[in-house]
Amino acid sequence: MRIIDRERQASELWRPGVRTRMHVSALTGSAQLCVFEQWCDPGRGAPTHLHAVEEVLSVLEGEAEMWIGEEQGRLTAGQSLLVPAGRKHGFRNCGEGILHVQATLAAPIFEASFDDTSELSRRWVP
């Protein structure tokens, strides 16, 4: 049995105004999931991107504007967005405090294609 203590996982500055802490990935022995948290300053978040797998974005604290393609919505604590595989999506903190989100992807390695770069982003690769 493998127990992962979230508080012992290191956090990192992913982009200006966005801190990330990985919990579950190929680095922790996962074969099918990647789970991480992000804390976003007001106006900050994840720019438009896509993954080859499904993702669930859950708001733990704060208020987020999230989008899939042309559809947009505001989510608050306790709400989640199911993002289908291959769909462009993103989010930003539209509140005044910190936005705390948890992302769960159906793959053990984070891979994403962002609209603001031509490179494939790969993270938490063993």
> Taking the domain 13-107, which CATH number applies?
2.60.120.10
pLDDT single digits (tens) 23-40: 999 999 999 999 999 999
Q: Which residue has the higher pLDDT, 124 or 64?
A: 64
pLDDT single digits (tens) 56-82: 999 999 999 999 999 999 999 999 999
Q: What is the domain partition of the chain in residue ranges?
A: 13-107
Write the DSSP string, the chain.
-----GGGSPEEEEETTEEEEEEESGGGT-SS-EEEEEEE-TT-EEEEEE-SS-EEEEEEESEEEEEETTEEEEEETT-EEEE-TT--EEEEE-SSS-EEEEEEESSSSEEEEETT-SSEEEES--
